[in-house]
């Protein structure tokens, strides 16, 4: 989950600047912990990706405030933290929660809001109770709505109920909002087939503009959690599902090359390679075509051959080619969306087998 989160938050400073009227430099400085989750950051920071979940990083960022981030965040993230709420009674535990194992040694080892709870048979992470009576936690966001939907862009808004601590502009002081999304590819919506939740955006205000990253032909749903320096009450109810525009045909396969030319039993063999094209829908397979020109006594004629290549391969060996012919090579990507096939244009290349010696290496 964390790697996906890091990739999705690659443009976080831009989002914050657009959606929350922050300057990019200020936003980057304030949201430096999220950069720790990005592949491009220093290798020494990769431990944060492996050890800490999103709510914990958000809580520490809210707790540190204007303090030097490198020092404060390091102390906060590595310190033991007792999460708000109480462990549920043993008679209310599910069979999974009451499993006979030692799954944690403290609240800091449990994801999100879960607490490390002891029972008769072991120690497991459980969802806490008695959070409603806490006045030091921000209220759960309500009414997550999609205000505007354009190609590859969504404007989200939610209501933040009155909280015990308010800022100068009557906004929740020190609150971080985590926007999570889950999705499904296909023309029809099935809740049971949605992906798991993953962090999509971070905001300080009860709205967010999500730019890029929304793929054609997908259903999306969002939920929001409010976190302050003390923790969180949990996530909102999911927004209504919405669907992006119908997917386009795959792009043309890229970098079509010929290599490995060799003669076997007086016939020529070559390797045809290409790179997987971008596609809104999953690639189902590739079609490889090769056309040979035959010179007859009256008119020229053409022989066409076709093979299907599995989606996980981007190469194909052509065998039994003539040594003194010209071939026209083509590759086409075929994707699937629902029950419909989406077909790319064909990548093309001319190959003269007379000069096969040139193709001992990639050409």
CB 160 within 8 Å of CB 138: yes
60-69, 209-218, 283-292: which has the highest mean pLDDT?
283-292
The predicted structure's pLDDT at residue 66: 67
Band (pLDDT 50/70/90 cuts) for residue 85 is very high
Enumerate residues 6+ apart whose C-beta is below 8 A from 28. Answer: 13, 35
At 1-47, the pLDDT tens digits run 333 334 333 333 333 333 333 333 333 334 334 443 333 332 332 34
The predicted structure's pLDDT at residue 166: 47
In sequence order, what are the beta bridge partners of 267? 264
Tokens standing for residue 236: 């909102």
Question: Which range has the worst mean pLDDT, 13-27, 245-259, 345-359?
Answer: 13-27
Looking at every residue in the chain, the average pLDDT score rounds to 79
Helix ranges (H only) for the chain are 2-8, 12-20, 24-30, 32-35, 46-51, 54-64, 69-78
Q: What mean pLDDT comes out for the span 261-286? A: 93
The predicted structure's pLDDT at residue 248: 93
Percent of the chain scoring above 90 in pLDDT = 40
Residue 265 has pLDDT above 70, yes or no: yes
Order of strands, edge to edge, in the sheet holding 153-159? Answer: 142-150, 153-159, 207-211
The predicted structure's pLDDT at residue 169: 42
The predicted structure's pLDDT at residue 74: 82
Enumerate residues 6+ apart whose C-beta is below 8 A from 270. Answer: 258, 259, 260, 261, 317, 318, 321, 351, 356, 359
DSSP character for 229?
T
Tokens standing for residue 108: 């800091």
Please report the sign of the dihedral spanned by the C-alpha atoms of residue 24, residue 199, residue 195, residue 184: negative
**Rg for the chain (alpha carbons), in Å?**
28
How far is residue 323 from each of residues 30, 242, 300, 315, measured CA to CA in Å?
66, 56, 18, 21
Dihedral, CA of residue 168, residue 171, residue 172 and residue 175, to nearest 10:
-100
CA–CA separation, 93 and 98 (whole Å): 6
How far is residue 254 from each of residues 10, 257, 326, measured CA to CA in Å?
26, 9, 22
Enumerate residues 6+ apart whose C-beta is below 8 A from 4. Answer: 198
Question: Which range has the worst mean pLDDT, 4-8, 98-102, 111-115?
Answer: 4-8
Residue 65 has pLDDT above 60, yes or no: yes
The predicted structure's pLDDT at residue 300: 64
DSSP states along 224-242? EEEEETTEEEEEPPPPPPE
Residue whose C-alpha is closest to residue 346's, from 259, 256, 270: 256
CA 234-237-241 angle, 5° bins: 140
Residue whose C-alpha is closest to residue 175's, from 132, 141, 146, 151: 141
At 133-168, the pLDDT tens digits run 888 999 999 999 988 777 667 889 999 886 444 444
Residue 225 has pLDDT above 80, yes or no: yes
Percent of the chain scoring above 70 in pLDDT = 76
Domains in the chain, please, with CATH? 2-84+131-243 (2.60.40.10), 254-360 (2.60.40.10)
- What SS3 class is residue 165? coil
Question: Which range has the worst mean pLDDT, 143-152, 232-241, 280-289?
Answer: 143-152
The predicted structure's pLDDT at residue 6: 42
The predicted structure's pLDDT at residue 355: 79
């Amino acid at each position: 989950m964390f790697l996906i989160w890091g990739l999705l938050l690659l443009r976080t400073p831009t989002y914050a600047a657009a959606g929350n009227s922050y300057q990019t430099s200020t936003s980057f400085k304030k949201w430096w912990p999220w950069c720790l989750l990005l592949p491009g950051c220093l290798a020494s920071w990769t431990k944060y990706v492996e050890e800490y979940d999103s709510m914990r990083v958000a809580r520490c960022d809210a707790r540190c405030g204007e303090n030097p981030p490198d020092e404060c965040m390091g102390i906060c993230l590595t310190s033991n933290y007792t999460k708000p709420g109480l462990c549920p009674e043993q008679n209310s535990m599910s069979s999974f929660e009451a499993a006979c194992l030692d799954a944690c040694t403290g609240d800091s080892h449990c994801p999100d809001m879960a607490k490390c709870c002891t029972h008769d048979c072991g120690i497991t992470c459980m969802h806490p109770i008695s959070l409603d009576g806490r006045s030091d936690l921000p209220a759960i966001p309500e009414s997550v709505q999609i205000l505007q939907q354009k190609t590859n862009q969504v404007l989200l808004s939610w209501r933040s109920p009155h909280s015990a601590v308010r800022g100068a502009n009557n906004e929740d002081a020190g609150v971080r909002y985590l926007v999570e999304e889950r999705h499904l590819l296909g023309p029809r919506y099935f809740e049971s087939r949605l992906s798991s939740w993953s962090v999509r955006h971070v905001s300080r205000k009860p709205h967010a503009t999500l730019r890029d990253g929304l793929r054609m032909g997908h259903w999306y749903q969002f939920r929001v959690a409010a976190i302050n320096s003390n923790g969180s009450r949990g996530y909102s109810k999911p927004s209504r599902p919405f669907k992006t525009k119908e997917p386009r045909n795959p792009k043309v396969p890229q970098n079509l090359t010929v290599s490995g030319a060799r003669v076997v039993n007086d016939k020529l063999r070559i390797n045809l390679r290409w790179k997987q094209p971008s596609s809104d829908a999953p690639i189902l397979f590739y079609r490889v075509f090769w056309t040979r020109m035959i010179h007859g006594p009256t008119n020229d004629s053409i022989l066409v051959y076709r093979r299907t290549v599995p989606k996980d391969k981007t190469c194909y060996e052509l065998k039994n080619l003539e040594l003194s012919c010209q071939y026209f090579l083509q590759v086409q990507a075929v994707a699937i969306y629902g029950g419909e096939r989406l077909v790319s244009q064909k990548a093309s290349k001319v190959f003269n087998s007379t000069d096969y010696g040139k193709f001992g290496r990639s050409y």
